[in-house]
Structure 1
């Protein structure tokens, strides 16, 4: 897959993915860190990433099977906003906490009961933030059956979302990225093995 090769090399060269010893937001240790919030600083590759996601959704489920995109701030929302303008679909988003002023809403945007949504996220690990958003969506009597991530770290998100009745799709997995970087001689076999040992 040419996109995987080119995009993985870009992530590595721009230090968007870095290998070493990192502590994640969850407190867990990781042999790599990936920060896709840097991608919009490189418009050509940002556009390729959005187009890659667009093509994947078109092939997998088609655009007629959902009414609106939904995401969570901040990383996923940036991706979803660009994707929404490309495919001419409405966009709503779910706050981590409901507003304590104004209308006090958790879900922002034009919504209605039984609306079918497509969840967009930048990176998924265990799927916690996506699941919290899905719970808020269900409370509003809306439906999510599929979620798309740019990168799946393969640490339980697929199974966790499945338990909520949501199928996770990803443009790339961390395994894809590491294998591609190893093939391009950008990382050592030891680093590749460290990544492979972590994934489910």
Structure 2
């Protein structure tokens, strides 16, 4: 299996990717659901970090520091930066933000690498629904230093129109901020994995394709 196929199977085995009928926050009725909160063991987090590292390596993403937005992005960035070193010998730094600036000790908004002008930073997050994490992270990062945000890496691109436009969250992020968002897999990869028998879910194929026709982009 390719690393993308392995990742889709990993999501299903971990209970992160499930099929059925789900009402999303947007109000849309979707035939699949992704709940990254179901990653909860050390082994799962270690494997997840490896898939982030594979995506960064395969796409030739330039990174000196991986940034994990608080709170969900923190363990993801730590797992990814560790796997980059272990799997590929790429020794990056990492940092994450606090929800509130610390006013004692070393102080400041960030923990980990002290950001510098021109530093190549990659943002690590789970999924992108509205682009909120990127929208909030960029001014925080820029307030610390004039960093170069080279990319954002997420687990799954749903390739879905936003509620108020024809672009997906990933496309909108590039249009608004010039930041390219890479995903380990996208919804087309998931559909193909079902078709190829990598994961179960053939009974949901038609509804997934219909959902794509109705809300999909790309």
Same fold (TM over 0.5): yes
- Within-5 A mapping of 1:104-183: 105-109=108-112, 110-140=114-144, 141-155=146-160, 156-162=168-174, 163-183=176-196
Which structure 1 segments of 5+ residues have no match?
A: none
Instruction: State TM-score, norm by structure 1.
Output: 0.81
- 1:199 is the counterpart of 2:216: yes
Q: Distance in 2 between matches of 1:54 and 1:111?
A: 21
CA 1:9/1:191 → structure 2, altered by over 3 Å: closer, same or farther? farther
Contact 1:175–1:196 at 8 Å: present in 2 too?
A: no
Partner of 1:187: 202
Q: Distance in 2 between matches of 1:195 and 1:138?
A: 38
Instruction: State TM-score, norm by structure 2.
Output: 0.75
CA 1:9/1:115 → structure 2, altered by over 3 Å: closer, same or farther? closer
Contact 1:145–1:166 at 8 Å: present in 2 too?
A: yes
Which structure 2 segments of 5+ residues have no match?
A: 86-90, 161-167
Q: How much is the aligned-residue C-alpha RMSD, in angstroms?
A: 2.6
Deviations 1:118-171 (A, max 9, x none): 111111123221221012212322220211112122232222221201111111
Partner of 1:22: 23
Contact 1:116–1:142 at 8 Å: present in 2 too?
A: yes
Contact 1:99–1:105 at 8 Å: present in 2 too?
A: yes
Partner of 2:55: 56
Contact 1:66–1:118 at 8 Å: present in 2 too?
A: yes
Q: Secondary structure at the match of 2:155?
A: strand
- 1:98 is the counterpart of 2:115: no
CA 1:28/1:100 → structure 2, altered by over 3 Å: closer, same or farther? farther
Offset, 1:195: 4.2
Contact 1:69–1:120 at 8 Å: present in 2 too?
A: yes
